[in-house]
């Protein structure tokens, strides 16, 4: 399945600003989504992936017909 991250989405602007402030690259975000431990937030139904020293909050959609996994990043947290 192909992983596509939509950086042009309106909520991704916040995530890009947070990445820039924390020194996290787009490659780090992909690693967190693929390899990080995931947890679903109850109130918002967003997914939070924990990796290394940061976490990524995102929403995701699966398109089985095209075998595409689309990810819309929301924010990046340091813990």
Q: Which residue has the higher pLDDT, 21 or 65?
A: 21
CA angle 63, 4, 21 (to 5 degrees): 140
Domain count, the chain: 1
Residue 29 in contact with residue 56, Cβ under 8 Å? yes
Does the pLDDT of residue 1 top 60, yes or no?
A: no
Mean pLDDT, residues 10-38 taken together: 91
pLDDT tens-digit series, residues 26-77: 999 999 999 999 999 999 999 999 998 999 999 988 888 888 888 999 999 9
Cβ atoms of 74 and 57 within 8 Å: the answer is yes
Helix or strand (DSSP H, E) at 14: helix 12-22
- What CATH number is given to the structural domain containing 36? 3.30.2310
Query: What average pLDDT does the segment 2-9 reach?
Result: 83
* Global confidence as pTM: 0.85
Domain range for 21: 2-78
Q: Is 16 left (phi over 0), alpha (psi -120 to 50) or beta?
A: alpha
């Amino acid at each position: 399945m192909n992983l596509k991250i939509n950086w042009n989405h309106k909520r991704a602007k916040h995530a890009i600003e947070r990445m820039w402030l924390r020194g996290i690259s787009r490659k780090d975000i992909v690693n967190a989504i693929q390899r990080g431990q995931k947890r679903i937030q109850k109130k918002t139904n967003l997914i939070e992936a924990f990796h290394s020293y940061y976490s990524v909050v995102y929403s995701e959609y699966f398109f089985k017909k095209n075998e595409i996994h689309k990810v819309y990043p929301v924010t990046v947290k340091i813990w």
